[in-house]
Amino acid sequence: MSFRPETRRLTIRDIHALRERGENIAMLTAYDHVTAGLLDQSGIDILLVGDSLGNVVLGHETTLPVTLADMIRHAGAVQRGSSRALVVCDLPFGTATDPETALHSAIAVLQETGCQAVKIEGGAWAAPITARLVQQGIAVMAHIGLTPQAVHQLGGYYRHGKSDAEARQLIEAAQAHQEAGAFAIVLEFIVPELAAEISRLLDIPTIGIGSGPDCTGQVLVINDLIGLGICPPPSFAKPKADVASIVREAVAAYIAEVKGPAEEPPLV
C-alpha cells in the first residue's frame, strides 16, 4: 500500500514570500496526473495547467481550439496529482472576453478542479477582468507580452517591447494588472531589459518565459524542458534531458522483443 506523506500546499502568500526573500520562483506546465506528481515531488513551486496543451497534448497549431472543458479535465488531473505546488489554470480563448464571462469561467474552473488560481492573457484592457475576479475572491495571474491566444491579431510569434511605445504599453499593462489585484504576472518573450525594468517596478512576482534572467521567476513548458516532443523546442528553451530518444529506444527494443529474431530464409 502506497503512502503519501501529508504536505501543505503553497498559497499565493507563500509565492509572495519567495519574492520578498529574494528566492526565484520555479514554475512548469503540467497537463496530467503523473507528470504533476513527479514535478510536485521534485519541489516545483507552481504548476501551470496551460492552454499550451492544445499544442503539446492535442496536436493543434495554436491554443485557440482549447475549450474550457479541456482545461477543467486536465486541471483536475494535475490538482489530484499534486499536493504541494500552487496550481494555476489558464482561462482559454473566448472564456475571459469580459469581466462577467471570465467570472463564470473562473468559478467553473475552481469549483470543478480544486485548483487555486486562474491565469488570463491580455494587456491593460484586461485589467478590469482581473479586478472583477479578485473582487470575488479568485486569485489571478496575469499574462502580457506574447499572448498566444492573440496570435492572429499579433501576426505571429515574436519578441515584444522593442519600440519605446510598445515598452510603455507593456509597463502600463503590468502596473494596471497589479493595481487590479493580480498576485503575479507572466512576461512572455519580452525584451530582457524591459522585463527586468518591469520586475523592478512591480511589487508582485514576475514570471518570465523567454524574457531573460531578471524576472522574479521562470516558467517553461515541461515537454521543452525534458526534451519530450516531435518538433524542436523554442529558441529560449534549453532542454535538460532527451526523453524523446529514451522513448524511441525503449519502443524499438519492445518491438524487437515482440517480433523476435528474423527468420533466416530457407536454403535453396
* 211 found inside a domain: yes
Annotation-wise, does 52 bind a ligand? Answer: yes
Cα–Cα distance measured from residue 246 to residue 253, given in angstroms and rounded to the nearest whole number:
11
β pairing state of 206-209 and 117-121: unpaired
- Number of Cβ within a 10 Å radius of residue 121: 23
Cell digits of residue 50: 496551460
* 268 found inside a domain: no
- 8-state DSSP, 85: S
* 210 found inside a domain: yes
Cα–Cα distance measured from residue 142 to residue 99, given in angstroms and rounded to the nearest whole number:
14
CATH code for position 119: 3.20.20.60
Pair 44, 27: CB distance under 8 Å: yes
Cα–Cα distance measured from residue 19 to residue 184, given in angstroms and rounded to the nearest whole number:
10
Report the predicted TM-score, pTM, of the whole model to 2 decimal places. 0.94
Q: Helix, strand, coil % (nearest 5) of the chain?
A: 45, 15, 40
* 2 found inside a domain: no
Annotation-wise, does 119 bind a ligand? Answer: yes
* 47 found inside a domain: yes
Annotation-wise, does 235 bind a ligand? Answer: no
Annotation-wise, does 164 bind a ligand? Answer: no
* 163 found inside a domain: yes
Cell digits of residue 77: 488531473
Q: Residue 6's pLDDT is what?
A: 59
Question: How does pLDDT run across 148-178, given as a tens digit for each residue?
Answer: 999 999 999 999 999 999 999 999 999 999 9
CA 101 from centroid of its chain's CA atoms: 22
According to DSSP, the residues that pair with 47 across neighbouring strands are: 28, 87
Sign of the dihedral defined by the CA atoms of residues 119, 177, 125, 213, in that order: negative
For cell 518573450, the residue is 189
Pair 186, 209: CB distance under 8 Å: yes
Task: Locate all alpha helices (DSSP H) within 57-190, ordered by sequence.
Answer: 68-81, 99-113, 127-135, 151-154, 164-180
Q: How many residues does the chain have?
A: 268
Q: Residue 265's pLDDT is what?
A: 72
Give which of 180, 171, 168, 108 is closest to 141, Cα–Cα.
Answer: 180
Domain that holds residue 209: 12-259
- Number of Cβ within a 10 Å radius of residue 212: 17
Question: How does pLDDT run across 94-125, given as a tens digit for each residue?
Answer: 999 999 999 999 999 999 999 999 999 999 99
* 264 found inside a domain: no
Cell digits of residue 158: 515574436
pLDDT along the chain (268 residues), means of 10: 66 98 98 98 98 97 97 98 98 98 98 98 98 98 97 92 97 98 98 98 98 98 96 89 97 95 72
- Using CA atoms of 160, 147, 205, 35 in order, give the dihedral in degrees to the nearest 10: -130
- Using CA atoms of 178, 179, 181, 184 in order, give the dihedral in degrees to the nearest 10: 0
Q: Residue 1's pLDDT is what?
A: 42
The number of distinct structural domains making up the chain is 1
Pair 195, 187: CB distance under 8 Å: yes
Annotation-wise, does 199 bind a ligand? Answer: no
E strand or H helix at 142: strand 139-145
Which residues are known to be catalytic? 188
* 46 found inside a domain: yes
